[in-house]
C-alpha cells in the first residue's frame, strides 16, 4: 500500500505528468464525443505519439485518453442517441 501511495504522490507532484493528464483527457473527450469512436480507437490514434515521450508520461497520456473517451462517448449517446462504444448503449436509453 505504501508503494501505491508513493507512486501516486510522484505523479501528482509532477507538473509535467499533470499536463499530460490534462492533454489526454481533453483529446479523449473530443474523440469520444464523435459518434462511433470509442476508447480503443482513441488509444490507437494516439499510440504513435507515445513513442516520442518517456514511459511514465506515455502511460498517463493513454490512461487519460481512455477515461476521456469513456466520458466523451456519453455526450453523443445522450445528445443524438448514437453510442460511441458498448458501454454507452445503456446511456442511450436514459438520454
Closest to 19 in 3D by CA, of 9, 31, 7, 27? 27
Domain count, the chain: 1
pLDDT value of residue 95: 66
Yes or no: say if 69 and 83 are a contact pair by the CB < 8 Å rule. Answer: no
Which range of residues forms the domain containing residue 71? Answer: 2-94
User: How confident is the model over 37-46, as pLDDT tens digits?
Assistant: 888 888 998 9
User: How confident is the model over 60-95, as pLDDT tens digits?
Assistant: 999 999 999 988 888 888 888 887 777 778 888 876
pTM: 0.84
How far from the centroid of its chain's Cα atoms is residue 58's Cα? 12
Q: What are phi and psi of 54, to 5 degrees?
A: -70, 170
> DSSP secondary-structure letter at 81?
S
Mean per-residue pLDDT, 17-45 = 90
Stretch (H or E) spanning 51: none
Amino acid at each position: 500500500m505504501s508503494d501505491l501511495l508513493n507512486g501516486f504522490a510522484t505523479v501528482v507532484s509532477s507538473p509535467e505528468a499533470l499536463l499530460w493528464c490534462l492533454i489526454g483527457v481533453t483529446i479523449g473527450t473530443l474523440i469520444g464525443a464523435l459518434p462511433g469512436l470509442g476508447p480503443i480507437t482513441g488509444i490507437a490514434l494516439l499510440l504513435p505519439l507515445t513513442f516520442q515521450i518517456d514511459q511514465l508520461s506515455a502511460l498517463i497520456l493513454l490512461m487519460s485518453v481512455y477515461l476521456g473517451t469513456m466520458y466523451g462517448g456519453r455526450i453523443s449517446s445522450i445528445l443524438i442517441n448514437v453510442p460511441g462504444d458498448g458501454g454507452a448503449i445503456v446511456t442511450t436509453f436514459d438520454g
